[in-house]
Amino acid sequence: MRLKFFLLTGLFMTLTLANGKVSQQLGNFVSFSQSKNKIEIKAENAFVELSSYSDEIVRVRVNKTSPERNFSYAVTKEAGSFFNKAEETNSKLIVTTASVKIEIDKNPIRISFYDKEGNLVNADDKDFGVSWLGTEVSCFKKLNEGERFLGLGEKTGHLDRRGNAYTNWNTDDYGYETDADPLYVSIPFFIGVNNKSVYGIFFDNSHKTVFDFGASTDGENYWFSAVDGEMNYYFISGKNVGKVIENYTDLTGRMKMPPMWSLGFQQCRWSYYPDTEVIRVAETFREKKIPADVIYLDINYMDGYRIFTWHPEHFSTPKETIDKLKEMGFHVVTIVDPGIKIDEKYPQFTDALEKDYFVKYPNGKNYTGTVWPGRCHFPDFTRNDARTWWGKQFHTLTVPGVEGFWNDMNEPAVWGQNIPNFVEFDNEGSKSTLRECRNVYGFNMSRATFEGTKELMNGERPFVLTRAAYAGIQRYSAVWTGDNVSEDDHMLGGVRLVNSLGLSGVSFTGPDVGGFKEAPTPDLFVRWLNIGAFTPFFRNHTEINSPQQEPWIFGDAHTVAARKIINTRYRLMPYIYSAFRESVESGLPVSRSLAIDYTFDKMIYDHRYDSEYMFGEFMLVAPVDSKTRITKVYLPKGEWYRYGSDEKIEGGKEVYADCEIDNLPVYVKAGGIITEQSEVQYTEQKSDGVLTIHVYNGSGNTVFKYYEDDGKTYEYENGIYYKRKITFDGKDKKLILDEVEGSFESRFNKVKVVLHNFNNKEISEQKLTSDKMVIDLK
Ligand code: MIG
């Protein structure tokens, strides 16, 4: 009787579970098998698969049925065989790599990750591990005491995300609030920081995902979920935050060197037209001796907003216009939107229609949405052939000389902002819908743009910029943080967006300096410019019908300040370019939240200080609003100098700092090595040929990895670069330039050393040779 009752309720339960009204747990362990590359576990209600990508990267896949195809837009690395032979006991399965121990409790299945020393780093929640609710899949994790959460890409809020929840669903949010979520970019990767250990989790599922870092479950656990698809995450270990980022970018790829000109100052607005106005703006930069490298054409350069066309009157001779700009040292970036105007007389439309490259309704009709050009169809960037087609269309821009491509509206955005979920995508041969493909739409558009323009530019580096993105975007594009507002809070919040993107593998990022919506006060503009000068992507941009926002329109004093600030950016170019190279090699960002180097210092998470960051290896930037003239800054343990000064400041405490409007608090770490050049008006202009190395006295040994290449081709991938280690020996007070590696000839023929807090002030110019040089600083 009793047994029968159980059997019946059992059957009943299975039925209710299957209809998704209540959740379903993965259940107990049934059996397992190990092959060369993976461990497959059968559970009562699920299949669990473990695989390894290095000793420090373990992938966990959990599916209700035997796993779907193995496919990822984000991951470029192949699985390997880093697992030792699994050990089975009555209650557990134990799997190890050289650096991670994974314990799988059998009843029910719960996964725990330990480090080499046997410390528990991350574990499933005891009550709830992986479960489903209909198609929705969740993973609950144990929340450790004091655990912090970093990253998750372009997310507003504070550095430590604990106590907050976030959604990934790429969204066009014009003039977003400083606590808005979601924004344009989805990177389902975060870093957990325990009292001693750190780890990363990359949940590679492009559906709408939620991350709840102990926000709403009484601090008992934290969880992440997706509305559909697999529980598919990578547990990434590493001895510190930097190593976790290195491992994550080993998995999802790193950027290539962007063109050097794209590290210069970029001038944008919606929109400069006609061509004579573009030339006038460029000329004004040169007249006023304010350095700049780039000018943008926003949507008005096109003919009726048709992508890949030129406006017949306003830009009747694009090549002549661009040639003129090039003579002045300017590069041109044009905007492209994904929406292709429905217009039988527009060849890009008829061609794509004929080739059937547009995303579709379930009945096969092309989806139509309205954007700037009017009614549009949208290329299916989840198809390789459509991507290739898109890439080829750029010839109408590259032939006249455009070198940068700004991918906008690729969330994708349409008027109404609500594309039906059932719109279909090819999804690389495995048909799917907007639910799975929205978050990777901008990623794939940027990829098509990068690959296509790279092909068209005969070996020169295109610059690609995007608004929407998914994990791995760093391989193809820089990211800007969308339609912000001209307010102090946006300026400061924007710094944290950049830092968070940096923690998530994307180095080349920045906000609209000065603010997109509304107009900045002169002080806000100058302060923002100053922060922008210490941000990887440095672009001034503002919306249509807003007041002019070029650096010279805020009055004489502010123009002088703007010039001084932009000059600093150009002086620092040899330092900044080297920091980009570091990013290309290791994935470490250029703007590095203090959580990278000072992870366990709790003061850096204090909301007054959590926007501070290292710019490159040695400079600390302390952002401050436009109204404050004296501020408190937190300097981590160690010794520091205010940038450009010789006064040493003891760290490990809060200090007061003057911050006149043209003087952002920027510090250099003791032992810091900062390479600079003479002031130039654009990156390709010849400097005086002197490389100036600033050394800030300290007692230890510090190393700077100095790097140069031609700044415009991919020849550096064939060894044509100039790399040398510069070491400051703080004990013997010597500067050692190692022998040059690579076959590129330096832009500089002389070297000068400027000393900070030494007995000497400087070591006068000498010839820069490629052999080892030892410079005595005493
Ligand atoms: O509907 O191209 O974020 O930078 O200036 C607005 C016009 C479309 C949004 C971008 C902004 C750009 C603007 N675009």
Give pLDDT tens digits for 690-745. 999 999 999 999 999 999 999 999 999 999 999 999 999 999 999 999 999 999 99
Q: Are 461 and 712 in contact (CB under 8 A)?
A: yes
Distance 487 CA to ligand 1 centre (A): 18
| Max Cα distance, the chain (Å) | 98
**Confidence category of residue 12, pLDDT binned at 50, 70, 90:** very low
Average pLDDT over residues 428-448: 98
Q: What are the tens digits of pLDDT across the range 373-404?
A: 999 999 999 999 999 999 999 999 999 999 99
In the predicted model, what is the mean pLDDT of the chain?
A: 96
Mean pLDDT along residues 24-37: 96
DSSP characters for 377-410?
E-B-TTSHHHHHHHHHHTHHHHTTT--EEEE-ST
In the three-class reduction of DSSP (H, G, I as helix; E, B as strand; rest coil), residue 79 is classed as: coil
411 lines ligand 1 (CB under 6 A): no
Query: What does 353-370 look like in DSSP terms, one character per residue?
Result: HHHT-B-B-TTSPBP-EE
Does any ligand 1 atom lie closer than 6 A to the CB of residue 270? yes
The one catalytic residue in 103, 154, 230, 411 is 411
What DSSP assignment string belongs to 111-165?
EEEE-TT--EEEEB-SS-SEEEETTEEEEEEEPPTT-EEEE-SS--S-SS-TT-E
- Token pair recorded at residue 652: 């490990």
Name the helix (H) or strand (E) containing 561.
helix 556-571
Amino acid (1-letter code) at residue 677: Q
Based on the residue annotation, tell me whether 483 is a catalytic residue of this protein.
Answer: yes
Q: What letter represents residue 460's amino acid?
A: E
Residues in contact with 441: Cβ distance below 8 Å, sequence separation at least 6, in sequence order: 170, 338, 381, 382, 410, 411, 412, 468
Contacts of 708 (CB under 8 A, 6+ apart): 574, 577, 721, 722, 723, 744, 746, 747
Q: pLDDT at position 68, please? A: 72
313 Cα–ligand 1 center, Å: 22
Q: What is the mean pLDDT of residues 331-347?
A: 98
Catalytic residue among 483, 488, 617, 710: 483
Q: Best mutation site among 405, 409, 490, 546 for ligand 1, i.e. most ligand atoms within 8 A of its Cβ?
A: 409
Q: Is the CB of 337 under 6 A from ligand 1?
A: no
What is the arithmetic mean of pLDDT over 212-238? 96
Ligand 1 centre to CA of 104 (Å) is 49
Q: What is the pLDDT of residues 600-621, one digit of tens each?
A: 999 999 999 999 999 999 999 9
Global pTM exceeds 0.85: yes
**pLDDT at position 14 over 90:** no
For the question of residue 408 being annotated catalytic, the response is: yes
* Nearest of 116, 99, 85 to residue 56 by alpha carbon: 99
Cα dihedral 489, 491, 495, 496, rounded to 10, equals: 20
Query: Which residue from 86, 98, 87, 113 is spatially nearest to 54, judged by alpha carbons?
Result: 98
- Ligand 1 centre distance from Cα of residue 350 (Å): 26
